Amino acid sequence: MSEVKIFSGTNSQSLAEKVAKNYGKKLGDLTLSKFSDGELSPSFNESIRGCTVFLVQSTTPPSDNLLELCLMIDAAKRASAYKVCAVIPYFGYARQDRKDRPRVSIAAKAIANMITSAGADRIMTCDLHAGQIQGFFDIPLDHLNGSAIFVPYLNSLRLPDMIFASPDVGGVARARSYAKHFEVEMVVCDKHRKRANEIASMQVIGDVEGKDVILVDDLVDTAGTLCKAAEMVMEKGANSVRAIATHGVLSGKAYENIENSVLEELVITDTIFPKQQSSKIRVLTVADLFAKAIHAVTGNTSISSLFI
């Protein structure tokens, strides 16, 4: 078995340190330099010849984070690493997974091609926006599930009349999986958009009266959809409403929207490090989940035990 080494890009330093610690390793020594014009230049400060290298980097905007990951992969391959696994807690551009209108890019596929062409041997990620993105890669991909983080937390709340809700039709399967696990009902908030990040109308399909509603999503961007859905279910007579989402993108007026919403709390993970604090946002770590997945991959054992 080759030696395992874990390194981090600039965008996931805090999470990578926790992943390495949970795995039982010290985070590897990597320098990420910038020329005065902004060009990136990663370099490994220790030998990785013959090693299985895990590079932790979420590809949130700006695009420097994606380019940095690709250059790290290239540097590792040229330094004679045995295998290079790109650990991408949050896979950016995943919302652009199809041609939903004429003459647009399928960005998720283009990004998959870039990472593969850079030389990655394996991908490890969590809660892709659409499961079919796994098929965009022609290399092994380990798709971890955030339910392993959220289910224990939801159990600890001991809510008497819990019900799950999807903030849009596209997330029905995700909400249904939670409802099935807890053996409760689910509802759907059907929305119509005029354009990206702008909701034209929304309606609740199902009965939420007297219930403790849990909104389930894979990511929160401006939080407009979540806050609107939360408002709608409370108007329909819900007892309380909170939300869980794996990736806290939280751009634009997201923090303001959440603070002013009827949400009791928004629970996210540290796949993306929060830009600021909020009394309504709780952050759970995925470090142990990724550390266990790395153990399974390097030990050639199944990762199915990590799924709930």
Residues paired with 268 in a beta bridge: 283
C-alpha separations of 180 from 62, 164, 174 in Å: 37, 10, 10
Helix (H/G/I), strand (E/B), else coil: 141: strand
pLDDT per residue as tens, the chain (308 positions):
789 999 999 999 999 999 999 999 999 999 999 999 999 999 999 999 999 999 999 999 888 999 999 999 999 999 999 999 999 999 999 999 999 899 999 999 999 999 999 999 999 999 999 999 999 999 999 999 999 999 999 999 999 999 999 998 888 999 999 999 999 999 998 866 556 655 556 788 899 999 999 999 999 999 998 999 999 999 999 999 999 999 999 999 999 999 999 999 999 999 999 989 999 999 999 999 999 999 999 999 999 888 86
Q: How many domains is the chain built from? A: 2
pTM: 0.93
Q: Mark whether 298 and 253 lie in a shared domain.
A: no
Q: What's the domain range around 161?
A: 147-284
Q: Mark whether 221 and 238 lie in a shared domain.
A: yes
Q: Mark whether 136 and 186 lie in a shared domain.
A: no
Q: Mark whether 8 and 139 lie in a shared domain.
A: yes
Q: Mark whether 86 and 192 lie in a shared domain.
A: no
Q: Mark whether 124 and 167 lie in a shared domain.
A: no
CA–CA distance, 21 with 210 (Å, rounded to integer): 43
Q: Mark whether 53 and 183 lie in a shared domain.
A: no
Q: Mark whether 178 and 129 lie in a shared domain.
A: no
CA–CA distance, 299 with 133 (Å, rounded to integer): 26
Q: Mark whether 181 and 117 lie in a shared domain.
A: no
Q: Provide the token pair at 260.
A: 């002013």
Closest to 81 measured CA to CA, from 50, 109, 103 = 50
Q: Mark whether 108 and 234 lie in a shared domain.
A: no
Q: 250 near 265, Cβ under 8 Å?
A: no
C-alpha separations of 9 from 57, 60, 61, 86, 162 in Å: 5, 12, 14, 11, 39
Q: Mark whether 168 and 60 lie in a shared domain.
A: no
Residue 177, domain CATH? 3.40.50.2020
CB within 8 A of 256, min separation 6: which ones? none
Catalytic residues: 191
Q: Mark whether 151 and 39 lie in a shared domain.
A: no
Instruction: Provide the 10 A C-beta neighbour count for residue 112.
Output: 24
Q: 143 near 125, Cβ under 8 Å?
A: yes
Residue with tokens 């629970």: 267
CA–CA distance, 115 with 241 (Å, rounded to integer): 39
CA–CA distance, 38 with 11 (Å, rounded to integer): 16
